[in-house]
Amino acid sequence: MVITLVILCIFGGCLLIYMIREAFLNKIIEQELSFPDFPQSLGKVSIFFISDIHRRKISEKVITPTIGKADIVIIGGDLTEKGVSLEKVKANLMKLKQIGPVYFVWGNNDYEVDYHKLDAILLELGIKVLANTAVTFESAEGEKLSLLGVDDLSQERDRLDLALMDAEETGFKILASHFPSITEKILPEHKIRLVLSGHTHGGQIHILGYSPHERGKIKILENTTILISNGYGTTAIPLRLGAPAECHLITINGNTEKKG
């Protein structure tokens, strides 16, 4: 009996250490996505995507290797949550700005803080908030790429229709949304080719392979392709199992093959 208890304690301790390690990994997943209709004159576009930072301090281990490799940075919501100081949030944003121009979409936990103050910090640092809006990039040949963003779905703040109105109708469209469920509102005529999202934490903790949410992945849907990230931070408890912390370096081009 005593030996059994000792074995169980050792196993439990090792499992706890492993779960803490998974929660604080600084893993950058490099993914290449190819679309036949991607504007050839843009060559390729690289995006550093990070979501669900919550309480974590962003490590230099994900910043330093990414500098010079990404054209833009997208924060996919839940930059912060209740109890996180704005000074810590600002420090994280300053680190991300080292990589490239930063774009942000609101997540549900971002509204737990004084979001007016958070919005002021984003404005001060020159970070573009995509709240039912879009920005468009244009090549020298006139081909366009539009980056759209929608506000928090959980509070019904999202207005995909407004973001689409702000985008170039004929441009290649990428949509950032904290909630993956935005895909339920995407129609074929919207021609949104890629969605970047988080929120679910990939389930965060999988027990015997089961969790309420599936692990982060790239999924090809009927009307679009979506990347769902496990996210960088955690909520409730700083533990993960089967859904390690991650961020992404995504390269998009016009080749016919797709890798991920």
Residue 259 has pLDDT above 60, yes or no: no
Q: In the structure, what pLDDT confidence band is assigned to residue 235 with cuts at 50, 70 and 90?
A: confident
Confidence grade of residue 165 (pLDDT, cut at 50, 70, 90) = very high
CA dihedral 162, 164, 166, 168 (to 10 degrees): -170
Contact call for residues 111 and 137 (beta carbons, < 8 A): no
Q: Does residue 47 register a pLDDT over 50? A: yes
Nearest to 56 by CA among 30, 78, 28: 78
Q: Is 192 helix (H, G, I), strand (E, B) or coil?
A: strand
What distance lies between CA 178 and its chain's CA centroid? 7
pLDDT exceeds 80 at position 156: yes
Stretch 166-185: mean pLDDT, rounded? Answer: 96
Q: What pLDDT, on the 0 to 100 scale, is given for residue 33?
A: 96
State the number of CA atoms in the 13 A half-sphere of 230 facing the CB: 26
Q: What is the pLDDT of residues 91-144, one digit of tens each?
A: 999 999 999 999 999 999 999 999 999 999 999 999 999 999 999 999 999 999
pLDDT at 257 over 80: no
Average pLDDT in the 177-206 region? 97
- In degrees rounded to 5, what are phi and psi of residue 246? -160, 160
Report the pLDDT value the prediction gives residue 256, as an integer from 0 to 100: 54
3 state SS of 149? strand
Q: Which CATH class is domain 2-253?
A: alpha beta
Indicate if the pLDDT at residue 14 is higher than 90.
no
Mean pLDDT score across all residues of the chain: 94
In 3D space, the residue among 158, 152, 156, 155 whose CA is nearest the CA of residue 178 turns out to be 152
In this model, does residue 11 exceed pLDDT 90? no
What pTM value is reported for the model? 0.94
Q: How far apart are CA 154 and CA 145, in angstroms?
A: 28
SS3 state at 175: strand
Encoded tokens for 140: 């020298």
Tens of pLDDT, residues 63-88: 999 999 999 999 999 999 999 999 99
In the chain, % of residues over pLDDT 90: 87
Whether the pLDDT of residue 246 is over 90: the answer is: yes
Domain boundaries in the chain?
2-253
